[in-house]
Amino acid sequence: MESASELVEFPLLLTPIDSHYRACTIPYRFPSDNPRKPTPTEISWIDLFLNSIPSFRKRAESDSSVPDAAAKAEKFAQRYADILEDLKKDPESHGGPPDCILLCRLRELVLRELGFRDIFKKVKDEENAKAISLFKNVVQLNDAIEDEGKRLENLVRGIFAGNIFDLGSAQLAEVFSKDGMSFLASCQNLVPRPWVIDDLDTFKMKWSRKPWKKVIIFVDNSGADIILGIMPFARELLRRGSQVVLAANDLSSINDVTCSELVEIISKLKDEQGHLVGVSTSNLLISNSGNDLPVIDLTRVSQELAYLASDADLVILEGMGRGIETNLYAQFKCDSLKIGMVKHPEVAQFLGGRLYDCVFKYNEVSS
């Protein structure tokens, strides 16, 4: 865990941050609620985290880098379940009242205390290898679309399709273990537009005017998400003259891609000239976001990212954790885009949409 002194506020958040920014999107409680009694929303979210324990335990058991993994995985399951049950009895225990950031942090703390650093490593490596082999094909299919608006929509659909590879969602972890995931089929099978939040047409109009000089993208999962979803989109931005900064986690958390993994992935995607299928990467930067969770509090990012972001004119938060469960309503000093798929029934209910619905929330700041 990084020490708090190393983390700073993301410089593009609208100020004053205290009155404008709250990281978690869904309020689990209101000031009028009894602080000693869990709210119905808290209980349903604690249950969601309880239900994910078996799939995490299974991953932990098979972590060959940890001696005595099976016994430690059992200990993790027990310890984390006990913490969650405590929070149901007393919401103020364990640093509560709980929100999605605390529930994720407590899970990571228990795993790390038992020596589990990266229980999804094997599946991440397998998925990355599969996706890397498909990258060129996906990019060429996009490049063949001559109409700029249609090409953009296809790239966006690719981000949603890639974002399905999320092993933090119990339902998807189940689907995934059965049959893997066909990326192109997923692109075709997205829920029909209009999506639950759908600003794609406005974004298309702005896109056609080629406006952004520097784009920060907070990335999400390994595998198809980063390689077949985000990278073709980032490549298109590079091709159109934007500088692109990919911000990835410092430490491993579920199957999210880390900064060091991303450096390795991109070196494998480049050809001998250092290009991404014919597009120069001289304007592509990779930054450590300073984060170690599948959600993000933008008042705590690395100094490196804060420095790189200070002159950006578009911020993109991709994925359910960073762009929907946290930061959906975050306001920025520049244009922003939150893009992700709804993979928890509780989130779908909050937004008034369907499970596996898509969020494409674009906010333009008038210059």
Q: Both 148 and 212 in a single domain? A: yes
Paired tokens of 117: 């650093």
**pLDDT (0 to 100) of residue 168:** 59
Residue 23 included in any domain: no
**pLDDT (0 to 100) of residue 1:** 47
User: Pick from 114, 147, 173: which residue ends a domain?
Assistant: 114
Strand-strand pairing, 335-341 and 358-363: antiparallel
**pLDDT (0 to 100) of residue 2:** 47
Strand partners, 314: 215, 335
Residue 65, domain CATH: 1.20.1700.10
Residue 49 included in any domain: yes
Q: Both 54 and 188 in a single domain? A: no
User: Pick from 114, 149, 176: which residue ends a domain?
Assistant: 114
**pLDDT (0 to 100) of residue 186:** 76
Contact 101, 150 (CB under 8 A): no
**pLDDT (0 to 100) of residue 366:** 83
- Listed as ranges, residues in the chain with pLDDT below 70 are 1-5, 165-181, 184, 367
**Rounded Cα–Cα distance for residues 1 and 290 (Å):** 10
Residue 246 included in any domain: yes
pTM here is 0.95
**pLDDT (0 to 100) of residue 3:** 46
Strand partners, 363: 336
Q: Both 203 and 235 in a single domain? A: yes
**pLDDT (0 to 100) of residue 65:** 97
Contact 233, 158 (CB under 8 A): yes
Contact 91, 29 (CB under 8 A): yes
For the stretch 55-106, pLDDT in tens is 999 999 999 999 999 999 999 999 999 999 999 999 999 999 999 999 999 9
Residue 170, domain CATH: 3.40.50.10880
Domains in the chain: how many in total?
Answer: 2
DSSP characters over 163-212: HT--TTSHHHHHHHHHH---HHHHHHTSPPSS-SEE-HHHHHHHHHT---
**pLDDT (0 to 100) of residue 74:** 98
Q: What angle do CA 299, 237, 152 make, to 5 degrees?
A: 105
**pLDDT (0 to 100) of residue 188:** 73
Q: Both 166 and 276 in a single domain? A: yes
